Structure 1
Amino acid sequence: MDGSDRLGRRINLRDLRVLMAVADTGSMAKAAATLRISHPAVSKTISELEGALGARLLDRSPQGAELTASGKVLLRCGINIFDELRQGYRSLEHLSDPNSGEVRLGCTDIILHSLAPMVLRHFSAKYPGVQVDVKLANPGEHQLRELRERRVDLLITRATDQSVADDMHSELLFDEPFVFVVGAESEFARKRRVTLGDIIGHKWILPPPDSSPGALIEGVFRAAGFQSPVAVVKTISIELTAQLVASGEFVGILPISVARLKAGQTALRVLPVKSVGPRISAAILVVKNRTLGPAVESFVNCVRNVVEASRRQ
């Protein structure tokens, strides 16, 4: 009998659920209340786990309980195990009813205002019985944490030239240039010829330079031979950018697909200024070696189909 067989006899799903509850609540007493069992039962379970593993899982104090390094490792195992069980249950549901299930989609603000609406319309038309839970994910490491902790099934994000984390699988959907945008009533919108030099001294709304899109946009200005202007307003919000630019008081820069979509919704105009330098891409991210339910697989295929159809237009 190897080590995994011995552990299998001494650690069960209930034990892992108790540890996860302690991690979520930060104390054994709160975990007991959440699970509706006694405080001594929680304490005994944790002690038996520590005995089975030969490692301390929690640092206990009057303020509560905090996971040790060993506790964090076991917690990740518990999250993975329950996630695989959840995906297996979804697969069983799908066998009895292919038009069922759930997709938990994470996407950044820029995806919510560009690709996501088209995908969701197509997917809901084909699979009306599948629920899609859309969560706004902040750019950067936070969005990866949502994936690692199984709070979302997949992430559609605007990728940068940064390398993908080792535990993530990335599928590139497309890449595109940035374009410069002004309000439809702006003085620049009425001109046939506009250069970057004409608008560089205007009031700008831009992403913060320490953000992923901000770093790319700085590269666009550098490639054109200009220093990035000091933004009057710094934000990663697409909606705020579109609203302020449409007012005619600001100049902005957006991915071309987002700019065209917003131009149809608000009084935006794309300037005839060629953008050089970095491009911005969109990608699907999932955790490597994670089982995806049939509904999620169908959703990913729908994303691919929508992107491919948009290329042919």
Structure 2
Amino acid sequence: MAKRPIDSRVKLRHIACFLEVARLKSVVKAADALNMSQPAASKTIQELEEIVGVPLFDRSRRNLFLTPSGEVFLRYASTSFTALRQGIDSLGSAQAQEIVKVGALPTVSARILPPSVKRFSDQHLPATTRIITGPNAYLLSLLRMGDVDLVIGRMADPDAMTGLAFEHLYSEKVVFVVRPGHPLLAEPRFELSMIEPYQTLMPTPDSVIRPFVQRLLLAHGVSNVRDEIETVSNAFGRSFTR
């Protein structure tokens, strides 16, 4: 059976707008990122949905989320957009220095990545390494968009990993730390439930590690923590607990 030709009504602007709305979950933010008006961005998405014949976004909630059809379209749209971008880049000067863009969690960029980048640099290849840090979901969205070449992060839910190749690199322990001289250090028989009266730093709700921490707390009878501060910043956590 012959393949159906691509509908000529689908333009690059449709794909670019769709990818930005999918990444930012907001037409307003996508319009700003693409330097276009919000009505123009909304019209572009509406045109694309009319062309493909199915809704791509769920508009019943505050933020826009992809429908199942939108999830499928995202995989192919991001791949094709990335391939086109790489093709355009390849037409540049053959002598131009390559840029290897690596997405990394803040903890990874501080502990694991430096020696790896050092070994890569020692090979004296004609390439510059660029490190982009952020939450896991944000980094995976950059990977799908082709804005980074690889991501070193945590394993996300299966749905978020669809269409991505991944390899297990390391395992992490979940531990609780306190500042030197903290009253809990004087406890002869420490139990995790003892943290309840104290202010606690917790991973943000959208971080991959948050469910693991919550399960650990619940397993030790901790249902609430006092004065919770949410962050995934390793630097802030170190400074705040000192």
Alignment partners' CA distance in 1, 2:99 and 2:44: 33
In 1, Cα distance between the equivalents of 2:165 and 2:108?
Answer: 19
SS where residue 123 of structure 1 aligns?
helix
Map Cα deviations across residues 191-219 of structure 1 (whole Å, 9 max, x no partner): 49551358413222222456432221111
* 2:175 is the alignment partner of 1:179: yes
Give the percent of matched residue pairs that are identical in Structure 1 and Structure 2. Answer: 20
Separation of aligned partners in 2, 1:131 and 1:152: 13
Tell me, what secondary structure is at the counterpart of 2:222? coil
**Quick one: structure 1 residues 208 and 230, their matched pair in 2 at CA, closer, same or farther if it must change by over 3 Å?**
farther
Q: 1:121 aligns with which of 118, 135, 138?
A: 118
Distance 1:103 1:115 in 2: 17
Closer, same or farther: CA 81–179 of 1 in aligned 2, 3 Å: closer
Cα distance 1:237–1:62, how it changes in 2: closer, same or farther (>3 A)?
A: closer
| Residue 139 of structure 1: aligned partner | 136
* AA at the equivalent of 2:236: L
Q: Which TM-score applies when normalising by structure 1? A: 0.50
C-alpha distance in 2 between matches for 1:62 and 1:83: 25
Higher relative contact order (CA 8 A, sep 6+): 1
3-state SS of paired residue (1:155): strand
- Gaps of at least 5 residues in structure 2 are 21-26, 57-69
Contact 1:106 / 1:152 at 8 angstroms: preserved in 2? yes
Structure (1 or 2) with the greater strand fraction: 1
- Kindly provide the CA deviation profile for residues 241-277 of structure 1, in whole angstroms up to 9, marking residues without a partner as x: 111112xxxxxxxxxxxxxxxxxxxxxxxxxxxxxxx
Q: What SS class does the counterpart of residue 159 from structure 1 fall into? A: coil
CA contact (8 A) 1:17 1:78 kept: no
**Which of 170, 186, 189 is matched with 2:166 structurally?**
170
**CA 1:121–1:62 in structure 2 vs 1: closer, same or farther (change >3 Å)?**
closer
Which segment drifts farther, 105-114 or 207-216? Answer: 207-216
Map of 1:66 onto structure 2: 44
Please point out which of 217, 220, 227 is paired with 1:221: 217
Aligned to 1:204: 200
Are 2:76 and 1:80 equivalent residues in the alignment?
Answer: no
**In structure 1, how many angstroms separate the alpha carbons of the residues matched to 2:205 and 2:77?**
38
Report which of the two structures shows the higher radius of gyration computed on alpha carbons.
1
1:34-59 Cα shifts (integer Å, max 9, x gaps)? 9xxxxxxxxxxxxxxxxxxxxxxxxx
Segments of 5+ residues of structure 1 without an aligned counterpart are 35-60, 247-313
SS of the residue 1:239 aligns to: helix
Structure 2 length as normaliser, TM-score? 0.62
SS at match of 1:169: coil
Aligned counterpart, 1:103 = 100
Aligned match for 1:195, one of 187, 190, 197: 190
Give the Cα separation in 1 of the matches to 2:174 and 2:152: 19
| Distance change in 2, residues 1:167/1:79 (3 Å) | closer
Contact in 2 for aligned 1:110/1:158 (Cα 8 Å)? no
Number of corresponding residues = 202
CA–CA separation in structure 1 for the residues paired with 2:158 and 2:104: 19
Contact 1:109–1:137 under 8 Å retained in 2: yes
- Matched residues in 1 for 2:44 and 2:211: separation? 36
Distance 1:231 1:213, change over 3 A: farther
SS at match of 1:172: coil
**More displaced, 68-77 or 146-155?**
68-77
Cross-structure match for 2:241: 245
The answer as to whether partners of 2:103 and 2:152 remain within 8 angstroms in 1 is: yes
Provide closer, same or farther for how the CA distance between residues 75 and 206 of structure 1 changes in structure 2, counting only shifts above 3 A.
closer
RMSD (CA atoms): 4.2
